[in-house]
Amino acid sequence: MRLTRYTDYAIRVLIFLGARPGELCSIREIAEAFSISQNHLMKVVQDLAAAGFIESVRGRGGGIRISKPAESINLGRLLRHTEGLTDLLECTTCIVNRACGMPSILSEATAAFVAVFDKYSVADLVRRRPELAMLLSPAA
């Protein structure tokens, strides 16, 4: 299974913010740190805020920050949110779908894939906070 760029960017946002708990950051900072488009991040950030993964503070001196402790943001939940985890193959239009065993195998494979992510949180991604902060700083 291959994760989408959307999920990749969502994980990067959470790593950046998780390395700076409680600190307000800008989308521009994150985009520059990872050398990715600020416009692409805007949609991701809006979605993460609406889903409660991050908090958005408006106005002068505003920004975004991780909404809760990194230990409580489960990566499996994030994947379910960003990927939607629809079928890996489109079996509904296939003429043998009612008699074929592939849909149940694909469902089991998807569940096993996400089960690995269920074991981890954002805290597991940011255990080396000082090193991450240094690598993600503008001077790096």
Query: What fold does the segment set 5-85+121-135 form as a domain?
Result: Arc Repressor Mutant, subunit A (1.10.10)
Helix 27-34 / helix 38-50 crossing angle, nearest 10 deg: 130
**For residue 87, what pLDDT is reported?**
57
- The model's confidence at residue 16, banded by pLDDT at 50, 70 and 90, is very high
* DSSP assignment of 2-45: ---HHHHHHHHHHHHHHTSTT--B-HHHHHHHHT--HHHHHHHH
pTM assigned to the model: 0.86
pLDDT of res. 127:
93
User: Which of 65, 12, 8, 14 has the alpha carbon at shortest distance from 34?
Assistant: 12
86: confidence class by pLDDT, cuts 50, 70, 90 = low
For the chain, the domains span 5-85+121-135
Residue 101 reports pLDDT greater than 60: yes
